[in-house]
């Protein structure tokens, strides 16, 4: 099998590429930086510039599956211009892939795209399944809805579509975990608000394996890419502290304070989504890290 990966140098992409190499899966990847183009037997880079509508069409040669990960991080202050970047980095790239495939011969049969549980509304009570019809009406919910709508258009090209709605990704190499662990290590750890908000998390290794599972098995549709056991923000913070032999001594950080520091982006820290992964589990996928204690043991 040969796959084309967008966002291959990101946190999730790097893990997927590593797994592909171990599984003898050939990887083509797209990069906006010509200096990052690598050429080897199993790993071949191609240039694209989505903002200018430029893509090296050779990237699709013999490719059966596209793994679409690219997207600007949401963990930066949401200025009006950066909000546009968050949306465009997902929708413009998707449109460029679609239009290029539409107008050229290709062998692509399946696209597997990252999505996010941010599509679900903030709730302490709901337990969201993939067929939940509720939609977050805020900025992130709108971004994810437009993102998924763009990917779903590939069905018009007779290409199977899979969407992985990703939760809080835990990794030593980046993302949320180092930012949570650092203040705890310094004795400054605290939950956000009352800490009751649900955090549906997933270990990065399980997430990378899930993308390849869907690719190899040909599973189609929407899948919640979260571990089986969501936890509260307070519990996650306390477990990380315990594993690091630290105590949580500070009170919860007030929402108004984080709003002053981070602006609208502060909502990421306080939103609550309890999300169910039964669908991917019933497909036969097995989690290596199915509870937060196992995941944190691996990360600290």
Question: Could you tell me the CATH number of the domain that includes residue 21?
Answer: 3.40.50.720
Query: Mind listing the pLDDT tens digit for each residue in 44-101?
Result: 999 999 999 999 999 999 999 999 999 999 999 999 999 999 999 999 999 999 999 9
CA distance 98 to 106: 11
Reported pTM: 0.96
Answer yes or no: is 287 within a domain: no
Confidence of residue 143 (pLDDT cuts 50, 70, 90): very high
Residue 154 is given by DSSP the state: G
Per DSSP, the three-state class of 186 is: coil
Q: What is the mean pLDDT of residues 91-114?
A: 98
* Both tokens assigned to 116: 């996010």
CA distance 103 to 88: 22
Q: Which residues of 44-55 are buried (b: 16+ CB within 10 A; e: fewer)?
A: bbbbbebeeeeb
| Burial bucket for residue 211 (CB in 10 Å: 0-12, 13-18, 19+) | buried
| pLDDT for 36 beyond 90 | no
Phi, psi of 30 (to 5 degrees): -110, 140
Confidence of residue 40 (pLDDT cuts 50, 70, 90): confident
Answer yes or no: is 232 within a domain: no
Confidence of residue 41 (pLDDT cuts 50, 70, 90): confident
Q: What does the pLDDT read at residue 274?
A: 98
Q: What does the pLDDT read at residue 87?
A: 98
pLDDT > 70: percent of the chain: 100
Residue whose C-alpha is closest to residue 12's, from 93, 74, 68: 68
Answer yes or no: is 239 within a domain: no
Q: How many domains does the chain have?
A: 1
Answer yes or no: is 184 within a domain: no
Cβ atoms of 239 and 296 closer than 8 Å: yes
Answer yes or no: is 16 within a domain: yes
Cβ neighbours of 300 (radius 10 Å): 17
Q: Which is more confident, 39 or 207?
A: 207
Answer yes or no: is 278 within a domain: no
Answer yes or no: is 261 within a domain: no
Q: What does the pLDDT read at residue 10?
A: 94
Answer yes or no: is 9 within a domain: yes
Residue 159 domain boundaries = 2-169+200-226
Q: What does the pLDDT read at residue 38?
A: 87
Q: What is the mean pLDDT of residues 227-247?
A: 97
CA distance 300 to 295: 9
Question: How confident is the prediction for the chain on average, in pLDDT?
Answer: 96
Query: Mind listing the pLDDT tens digit for each residue in 246-291?
Result: 999 999 999 999 999 999 999 999 999 999 999 999 999 999 999 9
CA distance 187 to 185: 5
Q: What does the pLDDT read at residue 102?
A: 98
* Both tokens assigned to 246: 């630290």
């Amino acid at each position: 099998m040969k796959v084309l990966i967008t966002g291959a140098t990101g946190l999730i992409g790097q893990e997927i590429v590593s797994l592909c190499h171990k599984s003898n899966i050939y990887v083509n990847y797209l990069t906006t930086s010509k200096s990052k183009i690598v050429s080897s037997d199993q790993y071949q880079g191609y240039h694209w510039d989505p903002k200018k509508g430029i893509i090296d069409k050779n990237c699709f040669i013999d490719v059966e599956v596209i793994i679409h990960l690219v997207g600007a991080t949401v963990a930066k202050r949401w200025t009006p211009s950066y909000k546009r970047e968050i949306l465009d980095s997902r929708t413009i790239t998707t449109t460029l892939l679609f239009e290029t495939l539409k107008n050229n011969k290709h062998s692509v049969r399946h696209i597997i795209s990252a999505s996010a549980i941010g599509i679900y509304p903030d709730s302490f009570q709901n337990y969201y399944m993939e067929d939940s019809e509720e939609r977050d009406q805020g900025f992130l919910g709108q971004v994810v809805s437009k993102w998924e709508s763009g990917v779903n258009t590939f069905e018009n090209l007779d290409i199977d579509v899979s969407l992985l709605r990703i939760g809080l990704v835990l990794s030593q190499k980046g993302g949320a975990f180092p930012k949570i662990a650092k203040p705890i290590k310094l004795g400054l750890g605290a939950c956000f608000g009352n800490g009751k908000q649900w955090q549906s998390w997933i270990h990065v290794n399980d997430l990378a394996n899930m993308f390849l599972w869907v690719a190899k098995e040909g599973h189609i549709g929407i899948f919640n890419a979260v571990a089986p056991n969501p936890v509260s923000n307070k519990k996650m913070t306390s477990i990380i502290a315990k594993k690091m032999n630290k105590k949580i001594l500070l009170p919860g950080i007030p929402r108004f304070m984080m709003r002053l520091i981070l602006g609208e982006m502060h909502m990421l820290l306080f939103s609550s989504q309890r999300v169910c992964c039964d669908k991917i589990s019933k497909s036969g996928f097995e989690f290596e890290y199915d509870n937060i204690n196992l995941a944190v043991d691996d990360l600290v």
